[in-house]
Amino acid sequence: MRALGVDEARAIYRAHYWNAVHGDELPAGIDLAVFDAAVNSGRRRAALWLQEALGVAADGAIGPKTLRAARATNDRAALIGRVCDIRLTFLRGLDTWPDFGRGWSRRVRSVRAASLVMAGAP
């Protein structure tokens, strides 16, 4: 890992996470919230959280219906909040929460804040 260059790391993140969650096709802010969730908890789980937050059929794969629903949302800030809240609920249920919860909470708060800025939320 120490020999891994920045360009290689970017390529890995793009191919295995960003592209997998269709980051280029998601609205600004929502893309970051879902991408970060995918990196930390897996692509399928991040897709499920987005689908749950949108209220669409949850199959763990971001496809045309999920993308349409994400683009059609009138309140990106609320959707970002729901994705982050669902993520935190999941993390709180893990046996390792007592050991890692503070760091996970800090990360989700940071991602939520950055996502809201990207979405142009006040």
Which pLDDT belongs to residue 1?
65
Residues 40-55 pLDDT 10s: 999 999 999 999 999 9
Task: Report if residue 72 sits inside a domain.
Answer: yes
3-state secondary structure at position 20:
coil
- For the cut 90, the answer to whether the pLDDT of residue 79 exceeds it is yes
36 domain-assigned: yes
The verdict on residue 79 lying in a domain is yes
Tally of structural domains, the chain: 1
Residue 89 is assigned to a structural domain of this protein: yes
Positive or negative torsion for Cα 94, 98, 100, 103: positive
> Cα(46)–Cα(115) distance, rounded to whole angstroms?
15
Residue 1 lies in a domain: no
Report the CATH number at residue 42: 1.20.141.10
The mean of the pLDDT values for the chain is 96
What is the secondary structure of 72-106 as a DSSP string?
Answer: H-S-HHHHHHHHHHHHHHHHHTSTTHHHHHHHHHH
Kindly state whether residue 44 falls inside one of the protein's structural domains. yes
**pTM metric for this prediction:** 0.94
Mean pLDDT of 60-74: 97
Print the domain residue range for 66: 6-118
Q: What is the pLDDT of residue 3?
A: 84
The rounded percent of the chain whose pLDDT value lies above 90 is 93
Q: Which residue has the tokens 């997998």?
A: 20
